[in-house]
Structure 1
Amino acid sequence: MLTPTTMKHFKLFRNPFLDDVQEDRDVFLSQSHRYAHAAMIDAARNGGFVAVCGECGAGKSVMRRKLIADLNNEGDVRVILPQTIDKGQLTSNHILDAIIMDLDPDAPIRRTREAKARQVQRMLLDSSRAGMRHVLVIEEAHDLSVPTMKQLKRLWEIEDGYRKVLGIVLVGQQELAARLNRQTHPEMREVILRCLIATLDPLSRDDCEGYVKLKFSRVGKDAGEVLADGYVDALMARLTTRQGWSAVYPLYINNLLAKAMNMAAQIGAPQVTPDIIEEA
């Protein structure tokens, strides 16, 4: 978090790292982000099954928000978002409830599981024949139980002729990718064999520079006014361990730059130098 002193020191009127994604122009897409977004859109429009995986701070929630915004703009895909907070407790019954509520909030929900399953199938088929597509989006999907993930596959198999009527997008941390490993989880093979995994990779050097420039430009500031030459290499080095593990993700970059900018303001430095980034 940038302090008021830091904001004044660098003549900033808005924090470039706080509530920084408010519209589509605020979204930075690296190559892996573009691939993940394309895979999510394809799943939504063509009845696919995709899991978007990434470390904490990699931009998964932003990808989910962008997907929903893009689909809402197009208008022919209904997005289903289960609201159960603890995804570890999410069951197929909850998902059926979510489908009914999001397709028709006023529809009475059948009580028995068989009746409810038939109700969901009928609603999806009717909506599909009316020209709509549907996508089920589940965030924090790394917490889903194995039985629930298996039941997702059965929902995904609902068809109208040759056409799938429900796409599925799972969004989760790297534990989700580990769960979708056939070697370690053979009991999940019926899901794994049908699910495309899109991983959000750490940013490259060029992407890191592009990301930082975008953050500052969106608050009316040139990054070069705040950050001294060499800042990109300093960020890359500071966020990479000696073992080669990279944490060059948007959230980590934001936090490191905020800390470095606060340090620079404290000592009265006109710019954030590579040395300050190294010490932050």
Structure 2
Amino acid sequence: MYLGFYGLTEPPFELTPNPRFLFFSAKHREAFNHLLYGIRERKGFVQLTGEVGAGKTTLCRALLDQLNGDHYATALILNPALNADQLMRAVAREFGLETPPGADRLEALAALNRHLLELAAQGREAVLIIDEAQDLTDELLEQVRLLSNLETHDRKLLQIVLMGQPELRDRLDRPHLRQLRQRITVRFHLRPLTRAELIRYVQHRLAVSGARGTPYFTLPALWRVYRYSRGIPRLVNAVCDKALLAGFVHQTHRIDFKLVGRAIRELEGDIRV
């Protein structure tokens, strides 16, 4: 609605995880490097945790773009709320394998093992990424651990990335999951943006969307965005999008403290903040 008014080519604060908009704060760059290191060095398991909306899924999309090519075969599980048989079939399907609808986990695992051996013979690395991994049951976490047993005498056939909310980290600290925890040698927890990073984050997304000086957020406005969002990118996007809409309604390119307050009240259902 407001793109023409501001001279933008696309919405700057969409909630979808578009890797073109990825802002590499120091923390996001470090998280991304941890992911690449774990995969390229064949560490077997990599764990990335962070609060809801911290940018994990966007990092995941950027990682998939980085791994796109002849050297890697990737599989992404976005909704792990499955039973064990369904999870194994889903992993096989994401790697491009056809499994009969009634196939159990052992049949799917056997097909997957054959496929991974073929990839290894071609000099290709297989990477499985499981998003929202905090939703995996203990049974499914055990199945994921068993997947890491797929190997030859000198290499792991599958690199596994577990991405999830802080609850994943807490669960893996439980004694009965120590076998899995001990296999995870690369871990990173993604923290929120600082206030200085948030300012650069907003400027970055506006620039990617085609902004040339306008619209612009005043420093008090950005302070209010930070106070509300606590540096969580998803909340930053939500309030900045509403603030741009408010600026459009008031026909101003200057997004100030008051307009951000109006945006926050709308997001909160008109509650005074």
Deviation at 1:104, TM superposition (A): 4.7
The aligned residue for residue 271 of structure 1 is: 254
Deviation at 1:62, TM superposition (A): 0.8
Q: Which of 8, 27, 48 in structure 1 is aligned with 2:22?
A: 27
Checking the alignment, whether the CA contact within 8 Å between 2:120 and 2:157 is kept in structure 1 is yes
Residues 1:164 and 1:227: Cα distance change in structure 2 (over 3 Å): same
Counting aligned pairs with the same residue, the percent is 26
Secondary structure of 1:135's aligned partner: strand
Q: Residue by residue, what CA displacement relative to the aligned partner does 1:167-212 show, whole Å, maximum 9, x if unpaired?
A: 10112222212212x2xx2111111222233222100122211111
1:193 corresponds to which letter in structure 2? Q
Residues 1:276 and 1:50: Cα distance change in structure 2 (over 3 Å): same
Secondary structure of 1:131's aligned partner: coil
Mapping of residues 72-83 of structure 1, within 5 Å: 72=68, 74-82=69-77
Q: Which of 43, 48, 54 in structure 2 is aligned with 1:52?
A: 48
How many Å separate the matches in 1 of 2:139 and 2:16? 37
Checking the alignment, whether the CA contact within 8 Å between 1:158 and 1:164 is kept in structure 2 is yes
The aligned residue for residue 271 of structure 2 is: none
Checking the alignment, whether the CA contact within 8 Å between 1:82 and 1:94 is kept in structure 2 is no
Q: Which runs of 5+ in 2 are unaligned?
A: 265-273
Alignment: residue pair count? 261
Deviation at 1:56, TM superposition (A): 1.8
How many Å separate the matches in 1 of 2:242 and 2:223? 17
Q: Residue by residue, what CA displacement relative to the aligned partner does 1:58-111 show, whole Å, maximum 9, x if unpaired?
A: 112111111111111x3211112347x4x22242x3343244334453577994
- The yes-or-no answer on 1:157 pairing with 2:157 is no
Residues 1:259 and 1:102: Cα distance change in structure 2 (over 3 Å): closer
Using structure 2 for the length normalisation, give the TM-score. Answer: 0.82
Residues 1:119 and 1:218: Cα distance change in structure 2 (over 3 Å): closer
Deviation at 1:139, TM superposition (A): 1.4
Residues 1:223 and 1:178: Cα distance change in structure 2 (over 3 Å): farther
The aligned residue for residue 193 of structure 1 is: 182
Checking the alignment, whether the CA contact within 8 Å between 1:156 and 1:166 is kept in structure 2 is yes
How many Å separate the matches in 2 of 1:141 and 1:278? 35
2:147 corresponds to which letter in structure 1? L
Deviation at 1:236, TM superposition (A): 2.2
- The yes-or-no answer on 1:124 pairing with 2:124 is no
1:58 corresponds to which letter in structure 2? A
The aligned residue for residue 134 of structure 2 is: 142
- The yes-or-no answer on 1:259 pairing with 2:242 is yes
Residues 1:235 and 1:165: Cα distance change in structure 2 (over 3 Å): same
Residues 1:277 and 1:111: Cα distance change in structure 2 (over 3 Å): closer
Checking the alignment, whether the CA contact within 8 Å between 1:44 and 1:77 is kept in structure 2 is no
Deviation at 1:232, TM superposition (A): 3.2
How many Å separate the matches in 2 of 1:17 and 1:272? 14
Secondary structure of 1:97's aligned partner: helix
Mapping of residues 62-101 of structure 1, within 5 Å: 62-72=58-68, 74-82=69-77, 85=79, 87-91=80-84, 93-101=85-93
Deviation at 1:115, TM superposition (A): 4.6
Secondary structure of 1:163's aligned partner: coil
Secondary structure of 1:160's aligned partner: coil
How many Å separate the matches in 2 of 1:149 and 1:107? 22
Q: Which runs of 5+ in 1 are unaligned?
A: 240-245
Checking the alignment, whether the CA contact within 8 Å between 1:7 and 1:15 is kept in structure 2 is yes
Using structure 1 for the length normalisation, give the TM-score. Answer: 0.80
How many Å separate the matches in 1 of 2:62 and 2:120? 23
